[in-house]
């Protein structure tokens, strides 16, 4: 079954993402108001995909982002290198007091009936200052690029970041790459940069250049401004609401070839039912449902997108690509932090129906 994409067979870079790099401060199961120790994870909705595809799936990937010349920037750049991702940076100098800064995301893990809590410090964020012409796309793509990706988190940061995405998408298209966009609608971010009306207007201009769209029915409603049923009333595992919106997505953006998302029913913070669905060139695909014991849910959606993209990049059938995304997203929730610690062998085993039986 064709996926409708014309993915280049070769390129110096299999995958390039554009977005903000952040550091996540994680006190584990302890709420911040009582925390005494925290772990630091390097993250970013767009970066996570590049990191997962490099570290787990062994592809050649890059991230285009802002970088700040101060110790937090050094920490972030080291973690990017450690994940096997090549950095293409616009450098900023920190003034020692106010920034510019690498954004901080504060996110505890919650536990049981206590939900995780997420808040930000994105004041004077370097990535929000990125603007068109900051990057030499011709040089970045000089050796060939197969896939280019960005997302709604970066788009929401400022008036200029969405313009950088449009510029990058057009340059990637000119270089022959497939393009993808994760809607990742974050109400807190859009609220301070114009609200839902600006989100819809901004995202529409980006998606005009997109082949593969990632987002659930709420993302489609709020990010694309497409009416749908009340998502709070439907079963989170019922794909009908998602598939029922595809015609409206295509009417607005007929060039989109693929739309995919995860399905997640949260029973408690540590117990989720997990699935995934995809619409690919007129055909619908639904994964199995897994019952997850979740250690850290942050990054699970990016884990799905990474595995799904990997399947498409390596010529798997749409059904198998969906299973690989579903499997990798599930495994990612068993690790601390936002990026993968899985191997491609583990992902393929789980996608085939593997279990947690001990490996000796």
* pLDDT tens figures, 108-139: 999 999 999 999 999 999 999 999 999 999 99
- With 70 as the cut, is the pLDDT of residue 168 above it? yes
SS3 264: strand
Number of Cβ within 10 Å of residue 342's Cβ equals 21
Q: What is the token pair recorded at 193? A: 């940069």
Q: Containing H/E element for 330? A: helix 318-332
Read off the pLDDT band of 3 (50, 70, 90). confident
Sign of the torsion formed by the C-alpha atoms of 11, 17, 22 and 23: negative
pLDDT of residue 360: 38
pLDDT of residue 356: 52
pLDDT of residue 86: 98
CA distances to 42, 152, 346 from 149, in Å: 18, 11, 25
What is the overall mean pLDDT for the chain?
A: 93
- With 80 as the cut, is the pLDDT of residue 201 above it? yes
Task: Identify the residue whose tokens are 């995809």.
Answer: 278
Rounded Cα–Cα distance for residues 220 and 185 (Å): 9
pLDDT of residue 188: 82
Rounded Cα–Cα distance for residues 245 and 359 (Å): 42
- With 50 as the cut, is the pLDDT of residue 358 above it? no
pLDDT of residue 324: 98
Q: What is the token pair recorded at 341? A: 């610690």
pLDDT digits (tens, 9 = 90+) for 237-281: 888 888 988 999 999 999 999 999 999 999 999 999 999 999 999
Task: Report yes or no on whether pTM surpasses 0.85.
Answer: yes
Query: How does DSSP classify residue 145?
Result: B
- With 50 as the cut, is the pLDDT of residue 143 above it? yes
- With 70 as the cut, is the pLDDT of residue 183 above it? yes
- With 90 as the cut, is the pLDDT of residue 231 above it? no
Read off the pLDDT band of 33 (50, 70, 90). very high
- With 60 as the cut, is the pLDDT of residue 11 above it? yes
- With 90 as the cut, is the pLDDT of residue 198 above it? no
| Mean local confidence (pLDDT), 334-357 | 89
SS3 137: helix
pLDDT of residue 234: 58
- With 70 as the cut, is the pLDDT of residue 219 above it? yes
pLDDT of residue 355: 59
Rounded Cα–Cα distance for residues 348 and 335 (Å): 17
- With 90 as the cut, is the pLDDT of residue 149 above it? yes
Under 8 Å CB-to-CB from 44, ≥6 apart: which residues? 19, 20, 21, 22, 63, 65, 153
pLDDT of residue 1: 56
Q: Determine contact, residues 11/146, Cβ cutoff 8 Å.
A: yes
């Amino acid at each position: 079954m064709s996926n409708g994409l014309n993915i280049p067979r070769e390129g110096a870079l299999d995958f390039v993402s554009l977005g903000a790099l952040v550091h996540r401060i994680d006190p584990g199961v302890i709420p911040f108001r009582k925390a005494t120790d925290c772990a630091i994870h390097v993250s970013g909705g767009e970066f996570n995909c590049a990191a997962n595809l490099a570290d787990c799936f062994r592809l050649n990937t890059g991230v285009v982002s802002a970088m700040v010349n101060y110790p937090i920037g050094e920490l972030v750049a080291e973690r990017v290198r450690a994940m096997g991702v090549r950095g293409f940076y616009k450098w900023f100098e920190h003034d020692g007091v106010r920034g510019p800064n690498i954004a901080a995301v504060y996110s505890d893990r919650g536990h049981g009936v206590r939900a995780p809590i997420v808040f930000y410090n994105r004041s004077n964020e370097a990535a929000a200052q990125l603007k068109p012409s900051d990057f030499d796309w011709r040089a970045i793509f000089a050796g060939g690029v197969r896939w280019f990706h960005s997302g709604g988190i970066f788009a929401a940061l400022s008036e200029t970041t969405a313009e950088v995405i449009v510029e990058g998408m057009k340059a990637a298209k000119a270089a022959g790459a497939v393009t993808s966009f994760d809607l990742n609608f974050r109400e807190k971010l859009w609220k301070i940069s114009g609200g839902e009306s600006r989100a819809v207007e901004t995202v529409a201009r980006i998606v005009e250049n997109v082949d593969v769209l990632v987002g659930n029915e709420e993302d489609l409603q709020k990010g694309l401004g497409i009416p749908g049923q009340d998502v709070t009333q439907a079963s989170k595992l019922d794909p009908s609401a998602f598939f029922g919106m595809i015609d409206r997505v295509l009417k607005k953006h007929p060039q989109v070839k693929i739309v995919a998302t995860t399905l997640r029913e949260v029973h408690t913070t540590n117990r989720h039912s997990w699935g995934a669905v995809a619409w690919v060139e007129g055909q619908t695909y639904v994964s199995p449902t897994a019952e997850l014991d979740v250690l850290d849910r942050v990054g699970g959606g990016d884990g799905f997108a990474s595995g799904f993209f990997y399947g498409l990049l390596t010529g798997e059938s749409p059904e198998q690509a969906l299973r690989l995304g579903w499997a990798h997203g599930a495994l990612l929730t068993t690790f601390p932090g936002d990026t993968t610690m899985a191997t491609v062998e583990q992902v393929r085993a789980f996608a085939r129906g593997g279990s947690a039986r001990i490996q000796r």
